Amino acid sequence: MRTGTRGGRASRLRGRQRLVNKGRRRRRESVCLTRGPLRNNVVEHAVAVSLKGIDSSYLELVIPCSLHKLDDDLFPVMLFAELLSRSEGPLWNRIRGKGLAYHSLLEVLPWAGQLCFSLGECTAPAQALEEFLTILKEVEEEVEEAERQEEAGGGSAGEGAGEAAGKHMRKVLEESKASLLFSVHSRRSTPSSCASQAAKAYFWGVTEPMDEMERETQAIESVSLADLRRVFNRYFKSFLEPGNRCTVLVCPAGKGEGYATELEGLLGHPVKSCKVADFFAEV
């Protein structure tokens, strides 16, 4: 009698547990299936979040940049980002070299449809961001000067500083191509990286042909100064102008208001103070 009672109770408990697990699975599935399309009509937004327990700041400045793998602008955009982010490049020297932040990176995120500038372990977020915006303006001028000289057939020896800047930019472009090509080939250098690339290609809906690596190599090597200028005006210039930027700063407790005020002067847009809980919707 006792054994039967125990068996019936255990059976009921297992049945209830199955119902609970089934409900959990349904909730997880509903969360996974509610992701909407990428938002390209983003309006200017900036937030600052103060956290206890950290002693440095982290910043991300993001703009929409929906580029498919077969888009003609993808590799010029990747190359422009590599030009700024490469080891001992402008971001390295002007931000890390000055002790403003340990990490600084400009990267394309095709999966998210974004172009993102990020700072990590940062001691002076406003100054580091100002350096980034200044670098963008300077590189724009250098690309334009180099392109003018290229169209003029190289110019004459008497052009002085302008000619030197043009030669420097052409040299930097070739170095950036080599750096990006190394990164592209590294993604297929091991079995695990090959599997990852295959999975990404599948989810992108693109079947990679056998000559995919050769195609990417040719696309990178064929990028010109005119291509860089085009993608700068189409994408990177949005970093300099209020409109559709999204800025998130995470900083140590007690520094949020001061940093927010400094960022407002750079961005020309209010920076809202938020709590971490504000970023998580209830399920």
Q: In the chain, pLDDT over 90 holds for what percent of residues?
A: 41
Question: How confident is the model over 80-91, as pLDDT tens digits?
Answer: 999 999 888 899
Question: How confident is the model over 211-268, as pLDDT tens digits?
Answer: 778 888 999 999 998 999 999 999 999 999 888 899 999 999 889 889 999 999 999 8
Check residue 29 and give its pLDDT: 41
Q: Is the pLDDT of residue 35 over 60?
A: no
Position 4 confidence tier, pLDDT thresholds 50, 70, 90? low
Backbone angles phi, psi at 37, to 5 degrees: -70, 160
Rounded Cα distance, 71 and 216, in Å:
12
Rounded Cα distance, 72 and 59, in Å:
29
Check residue 210 and give its pLDDT: 64
Query: Which token pair is 29?
Result: 């599935």
CA dihedral 220, 154, 142, 165 (to 10 degrees): 120
Q: Give me the residue spans of the domains in the chain.
A: 45-153+162-187+194-275
Tell me the whole-structure pTM to 2 decimals: 0.74
Mean of the per-residue pLDDT values for the chain? Answer: 81
User: For residue 72, how many other CB atoms are within 10 A of its CB?
Assistant: 12
Question: How confident is the model over 118-135, as pLDDT tens digits?
Answer: 999 999 999 999 999 999
Closest CA to 76 of 65, 91, 89, 61: 65
Q: Which comes out higher in pLDDT, residue 142 or 194?
A: 142
Tokens 């590599």 sit on residue: 82
Task: Give the domain 45-153+162-187+194-275 fold.
Answer: Cytochrome Bc1 Complex; Chain A, domain 1 (3.30.830)
